[in-house]
Structure 1
Amino acid sequence: MGTPMRLIQRSHGQWNRSKRNKWSRNVTTVANPHKLFLDPSPLELLQATLLGSVTSKTKCQTDADRNRQILDLIEPQWQGGYLPPPLWHALKGVSSTGFKEAEGRLKSITTISSLKDVTERLVIDVDGARSLQSQLPGIISRCRGQHSSAELLSVFGDIIVRLQRLKLPINSDTYGLGMELAAENLSSVAFHRFFTGFIRSPKGIQISHLHNVIQILYETVRQELFESPHYDTTHILAEITGEYDAFSENGNIRLHDFLYSKLGGSQDDFHADLATWTNYLCLLSILQSREPLISSWKAFMKSFRSETSSNLHSMYSVVLALSRVGRSETAAKFLEDISIRNGDSLPSLTEFPHVREILNDSVLCQVLVDIVGNHEYEALLELAVGDIERRLGLQWVTAQQSEIGAHSSITPGSLWTSFEHQPLFTIDGDCAGYDNPSRLFSELEVSGCSRSPDQLGQIAELLHEHDGSGFEVTSHNHSTGGIPRFKWCPQHSPIEFSHSQLPVSSDRTGKWTPTSLGLIWARPLINGIVQERGKSFHFMQLGSLDMQYNPNERWQPSGYIVVWDRQFGHMNALFVGTDHGVIDRGPMPSNAPFGTILRIRLPHIPDSEHWSSADHFHLDLDPSLDLYSR
């Protein structure tokens, strides 16, 4: 319906065979360099398509004249009520009315097909190119609900090709957005292409422009290695630093080259981009970088100011990243560097949120004894002893005064005061604080992110012990109103998947498996398709979640189960539509009243930063490739 009538009703009815053959003979002369003047121009080809014949170009007739003739020929034949195809705009140009219409559509695009259509209509000149690029971040964000990151990367690459072929300006922010999409898909080829354009942008570029790119790279690689510990990351490292790149070209600037060249700037500029530097060093750590990591760390230490605990925690984050990927020796060397820089001490280490992971590394523990400093050593010892006591259910009098021993006086009125003059362990192996829920809370805090099935099994055993009890939890949505009160009812694996090889209820092997531990893998769904890459979750079931709108009402099932995020160490509520029983693997129910995944916490646990996730997930048994027996 949107086709020129002249394309349907030709003025001469059918092609004239003799004319077609004559024109064909002219085309074949392209192979002869002495007869190039016989080759039809694009305008002659279009005229032949519309009229079935080609008139010779007179001396006074220019291509512009012929162009106007063809436009006059086509324009009156357009049927009203239908937009012309994109090729029409490329031939005629975009009118002011058409430009405003296409520009207005940019703010409502939610699908790739709409994006392609508007791009072809609008991006034919400088104004259209600038208008599209200014709206691209919002367009990509809206399209994420309908398309995968891989699809968005593909269409984004097509847009860049169009801009380059038309020789239209491309700003650095557009290349930066392309690098983000390439990072999400771990595409080294696309990353190289966009980064090359980024550093050649006419405007000055700063490290701050790469903050999101480096953060996405780090999070995506970390997620990939968690799900596939043997994933080969050498192609990513080769693109970033040039390591393991046997085909590197001379003068080829890498991301590492650009960042390293900025390390010699002022300390104020360095600390303004501290989060970017921290993520970059963590990225090099998990990518198994060698010399570039060491050189960057040394330059990092020269520019670093350890005036605040948050700055120090940035340094400890790099040590933690090394420890998580088994590079404990390098992590120990970095800890020694931090200690030397801070006068043979490791300030604020006990305040580091992941200090327990560092303490669980045997290599780092041996080094800590000599480099941590007296004051921090006592604080670490206090932390370790406190963890042991809480895991045993022991509660001592808080040391309000220096003469009161915090680890020697039993709290008056506690459930185990009868053991004050008796051994803390009973004859059958139970401890004096056996029923204390702090045992469960502490075990989650210490072992919830462990890679050992046996340590996760200890949590499962504690869930058995506290089955039937309930603990009130809060949600980060409580402040918005309309949210009921929630109660966590501990239970070992309330949900089982149908067709599991070994149901939890019949597991008597004594060996902890993903099935017997109650592990769940939640992967994002887009248009019913499970996404291979994206923000997926690896959960361990902790029980069911009850809710209550009014204090006088009875607690009732909410359809959510309480789960623990094994990768990031958070408590969440996952909607499965029931509080216990057998469910099928596949898409989760779509009628979640408070969101598919609800962040919850115990009242005594500090609130964490706000986060967002996909709207729909595919639930399945977690293969848990990250687990190994110690």
Structure 2
Amino acid sequence: MLGPTLCRPWLPAKPRLSRCASSAAGSPSPVASQNSSDEVTLSMLIRERQRSVPRPEPSPSELLRFAVTGTLRTPIHSYYSETREKYIIEAFSKHRLPSGWTVFNPPSAKMDGILNKFDPPVDRMDPSYLSPKIELPTFHALLETYVRTREVAQESLGHEMGIFQHAVKSLAHNTRADQILITMNAIYARYTSLGVDFPLSFYALGMECAARQFSAAAFQAYLTGYINAGGNAFSFPYANQRFIRNLKTVCLANSWEDRQLNLAPMREIVTGLDANGSPLPGPSLYSFFFESGNEFPESEGFLFVQLLGLLGDNGRLLDLWPTVQNRLKTDPSSNTVRNLVVLYLKSLLMLGFSSRAVDATCTLSKIADLNEFFPEWMWTELLEHDEHNVLRDIVPSKAKEKLLYTELHSIESRLGIEWNAARERHVAKTQEGHMDLWLDHWFPSTPSSHLEWDSGLPESHLRKRWLREELKSQGLSRSSVNDALFASSLFGSSWRRRRLFEEVRLHGSSRSSAKLSMIANLLHDFEGRPIPLGFLPVQKDDVREVAWFPECSPIEFSNNRPSLRHDMAGPQSPSSLGLVRARRNQRGESTRYIATNRCLMQLGRLCDRRPGKGDWTDTGHIILWDTYQRRLKILFLGKSWGTIDPGLYPQERHPFLPGVATFRIESLKIFKSSFRKKLTINKHRYWLEVDSAEYLDS
């Protein structure tokens, strides 16, 4: 735990002159004066607040900031007064600064006593000061002003959750995690110096803040204090779930970001084991939940199992196997226990214990019917690792047929094959009646068969090129040419779009550059062919058709020079694949390791037009694939292709579409479905830049 000297200069309780309170050392005890005439009333608090209105003269910190930077603006442009800055500029333009400023003439102790003669001491903080929209510097000032005695500090923690805990929770929504943790450590240091006993709720909140920042030292300190204060796994179950989710979020975000976060210190605190598997002294989360002698914490158990898988634990997960069996025997119909079983097997597969996962499935199948709650993806992963066919008798025939049908349908969609009922066989859907099945699945060492237009290409390719040149020679725009090609029998049908969707769904979240290159090749092949997304009512009598125009990396960033365009024959880079990093904006700063950060892949542009006529126009949105949520997303950039500067987006609002939203695709052929009903609006702003993609392998 950080000491008082490492937090803030205002942490140690120091006596100093204050116009807002008189609770410094030497002031009469509030307990002793309860029955006196100096009892604090609401009118006194109102008068005290009126007396505390800032004077027009600058404070010492404002003078220092202006002298160093020449302005009163802070890095995040908050707490800024233009009137105050003009006043200071005018004062500094003169030969001498005003001699009446109290910063040069602090009042003497005698004068201070005269000024406060008729005002009783105010040593209690009004809870209304801690409004839901309180700012962090205001919160720090309240701590410095009022928390100076043990009585005041104890009273602030005596409420149901403590007025300071409520303030910290409200600040967590719009303040960086490191600043929140520093504030919590500062409160801990100041209250400890005053000899205050903390309630369990304070330690629980400290664990939440430490987990959000992924600070192993702070988390262990708050966990130790929580246990020493008499807390157990059932004291604050919702707080336990929150800090486990915070740890999971950071681990998951780290796996997709730059992987610079060291998971080892937090893994030791969670498991209680070192790198060699030897027990460590001191409390751990594992001992806190499973070795405290209490019942199994169901609500936190399956979350803890997920956390072990993300942290890369290979010891405690196996130790939980008897507990998982006993819970399934005790309550096989509980949804929480069923989730625990599924996530336990998933964590085993994630850590490479595939044979153990298969054996565990066989054992659990003798306790309960796993087919009642196992999802399809769980059976699919287990069957892929079943080398000895031990699951053959466990999976029912209908489930195996369904899994096989789903897998075959996915393969058919990706290869462009459909079942022809009239001919009673599978056929390849092409205009010429044949196709190269591996057209876009060529290996990196094998040259593609359609890189250039030459005489060796099929006749259909030559006809497409000839038609494109003929349409361009007639003076048609790019969108009109694409519409004409799309309407002709030479261009795309629904199976092509289904093929694109299936590739994106299966490999859009892949960590393999080869699989992402397959998607990029398809986007390159389907460029200019609109995919209908639905209709969009703009005004009372105005309706637009909305379509997706596939394109590989339509947006480039100005700091990524020289530009690396998509090259189907050469090696791929994050820029040529259209990979984008989107970090959540908080007060003008991008944040890391939070759930709202995204890794995105550009899939094309969003366009609209009047029904059945007119040219397609860009809405200014690009369409992306969200690797976290595995969903399609639209993001408003102001333009759908070209070069942009890295920064915060969306910068402005679109007249009839949201700036950020996820959506789903239902219809592939017509514009009869509402596009607005498919949207899930997100009001966040993101800092966009090229993704370094350190998570990609070859």
TM-score by length of 2: 0.64
**Larger displacement relative to structure 2 (566-575 or 576-585):** 566-575
Aligned pairs for 1:151-166 within 5 A: 151-166=179-194
Q: 2:247 aligns with which of 217, 225, 229?
A: 217
Contact 1:472 1:602 in 2 (8 A): no
**Residue 537 (str. 1) matches residue 565 (str. 2):** no
Counterpart AA for 1:455:
K
Instruction: Say if 1:133 and 1:312 are closer, same or farther in 2 by CA, change over 3 A.
Output: closer
Distance 1:348 1:469 in 2: 43
1:28 paired residue number: none
Contact 1:312 1:348 in 2 (8 A): no
Structure 1 stretches lacking a partner, 5+ long: 6-40, 47-63, 398-403
1:392 paired residue number: 415
Task: Report deviation, 1:486.
Answer: 4.5
Distance 2:661 2:210 in 1: 29
Contact 1:102 1:122 in 2 (8 A): no
Q: 1:616 aligns with which of 679, 685, 691?
A: 685
Distance 2:202 2:682 in 1: 24
Structure 2 stretches lacking a partner, 5+ long: 1-15, 55-111, 440-448, 451-457, 459-491, 669-675
2:318 paired residue number: 294
Q: Deviations over 1:427-484 (max 9, x none)?
A: 9899x98953110111111111111111111111221232223334489x99xxx998
Distance 2:563 2:429 in 1: 37
Contact 1:179 1:213 in 2 (8 A): yes
Among all aligned residue pairs of Structure 1 and Structure 2, give the percentage whose two residues are the same amino acid.
20
Distance 1:321 1:474 in 2: 40
**Residue 334 (str. 1) matches residue 379 (str. 2):** no
**Larger displacement relative to structure 2 (582-591 or 133-142):** 133-142
Q: Deviations over 1:319-367 (max 9, x none)?
A: 434444xx32x143123212321149852687346776x37x9646776
Distance 1:98 1:612 in 2: 47
Contact 2:271 2:316 in 1 (8 A): yes
Q: 1:546 aligns with which of 602, 607, 615?
A: 607
Counterpart AA for 2:666:
P
SS in 2 for 1:338: helix
2:216 paired residue number: 188
Q: Which has the higher helix share?
A: 1
Task: Report deviation, 1:489.
Answer: 2.1
Contact 1:125 1:168 in 2 (8 A): yes
Q: 1:602 aligns with which of 665, 672, 685?
A: 665
Aligned pairs for 1:51-62 within 5 A: none
Task: Report deviation, 1:297.
Answer: 3.0
Task: Report deviation, 1:212.
Answer: 1.1
Counterpart AA for 1:531:
T
Aligned pairs for 1:75-86 within 5 A: 81-83=50-52
Distance 1:393 1:309 in 2: 40
Distance 1:212 1:612 in 2: 24
Aligned pairs for 1:264-343 within 5 A: 265=295, 270=298, 273=299, 276-304=300-328, 305-307=331-333, 312=338, 314-324=340-350, 327-328=351-352, 330-343=353-366
Task: Report deviation, 1:217.
Answer: 0.7
Task: Report deviation, 1:598.
Answer: 1.2
Counterpart AA for 2:320:
S
Larger RCO, structures 1/2 (Cα 8 Å, 6+ apart): 2
Counterpart AA for 1:570:
R
Instruction: Say if 1:323 and 1:583 are closer, same or farther in 2 by CA, change over 3 A.
Output: farther
Counterpart AA for 2:359:
E
Contact 2:658 2:681 in 1 (8 A): no
1:15 paired residue number: none
Aligned pairs for 1:464-479 within 5 A: 464-473=524-533
Instruction: Say if 1:426 and 1:540 are closer, same or farther in 2 by CA, change over 3 A.
Output: closer
Instruction: Say if 1:306 and 1:229 are closer, same or farther in 2 by CA, change over 3 A.
Output: farther
Task: Report deviation, 1:155.
Answer: 0.4
**Residue 117 (str. 1) matches residue 145 (str. 2):** no
Tell me how many residue pairs correspond in the alignment: 537
Task: Report deviation, 1:310.
Answer: 8.0
Contact 2:247 2:307 in 1 (8 A): yes
Distance 2:365 2:143 in 1: 55
Distance 1:426 1:507 in 2: 18
Q: Deviations over 1:135-158 (max 9, x none)?
A: 556534543465311011100121
Contact 1:199 1:205 in 2 (8 A): no
Instruction: Say if 1:83 and 1:370 are closer, same or farther in 2 by CA, change over 3 A.
Output: same
Aligned pairs for 1:89-488 within 5 A: 99=124, 102-123=126-147, 124-131=152-159, 133-136=161-164, 139-144=167-172, 146-202=174-230, 205-206=233-234, 207-229=237-259, 231-244=261-274, 252-261=282-291, 265=295, 270=298, 273=299, 276-304=300-328, 305-307=331-333, 312=338, 314-324=340-350, 327-328=351-352, 330-343=353-366, 347=371, 351-352=375-376, 358=381, 363=385, 370=392, 373-375=395-397, 376-396=399-419, 436-473=496-533, 486-488=546-548
**Larger displacement relative to structure 2 (223-232 or 239-248):** 239-248
Counterpart AA for 1:252:
G
Instruction: Say if 1:202 and 1:382 are closer, same or farther in 2 by CA, change over 3 A.
Output: same
Contact 2:417 2:429 in 1 (8 A): no
Distance 1:263 1:389 in 2: 54
Instruction: Say if 1:511 and 1:258 are closer, same or farther in 2 by CA, change over 3 A.
Output: same
2:442 paired residue number: none
Aligned-pair Cα RMSD in Å: 5.0
Distance 1:436 1:319 in 2: 36
Q: Deviations over 1:542-578 (max 9, x none)?
A: 1112357999997643222111112331211122221
Distance 2:168 2:645 in 1: 33
Q: Deviations over 1:401-445 (max 9, x none)?
A: xxx99x95569xx966996xx899699899x98953110111111
2:443 paired residue number: none
SS in 1 for 2:363: helix
**Residue 513 (str. 1) matches residue 573 (str. 2):** yes
SS in 1 for 2:139: helix
Instruction: Say if 1:169 and 1:200 are closer, same or farther in 2 by CA, change over 3 A.
Output: same
SS in 2 for 1:505: coil
SS in 2 for 1:560: strand
Distance 2:209 2:651 in 1: 28
Contact 1:539 1:563 in 2 (8 A): yes
Instruction: Say if 1:551 and 1:164 are closer, same or farther in 2 by CA, change over 3 A.
Output: farther
Distance 2:324 2:635 in 1: 41
Contact 1:107 1:135 in 2 (8 A): no
Q: Deviations over 1:155-212 (max 9, x none)?
A: 0121223333334453333322221211111101110111122234456651444111
Instruction: Say if 1:258 and 1:4 are closer, same or farther in 2 by CA, change over 3 A.
Output: closer
SS in 2 for 1:396: strand
Contact 1:129 1:163 in 2 (8 A): no
Counterpart AA for 1:562:
I
Q: Deviations over 1:576-602 (max 9, x none)?
A: 221111112223342144655311111
Distance 1:256 1:195 in 2: 12
**Residue 523 (str. 1) matches residue 583 (str. 2):** yes
Contact 1:312 1:347 in 2 (8 A): no
Counterpart AA for 2:557:
F
TM-score by length of 1: 0.71
Q: Deviations over 1:19-74 (max 9, x none)?
A: xxxxxxxxxxxxxxxxxxxxxx975xx9xxxxxxxxxxxxxxxxx99xx9xx9xxx
**Residue 627 (str. 1) matches residue 688 (str. 2):** no
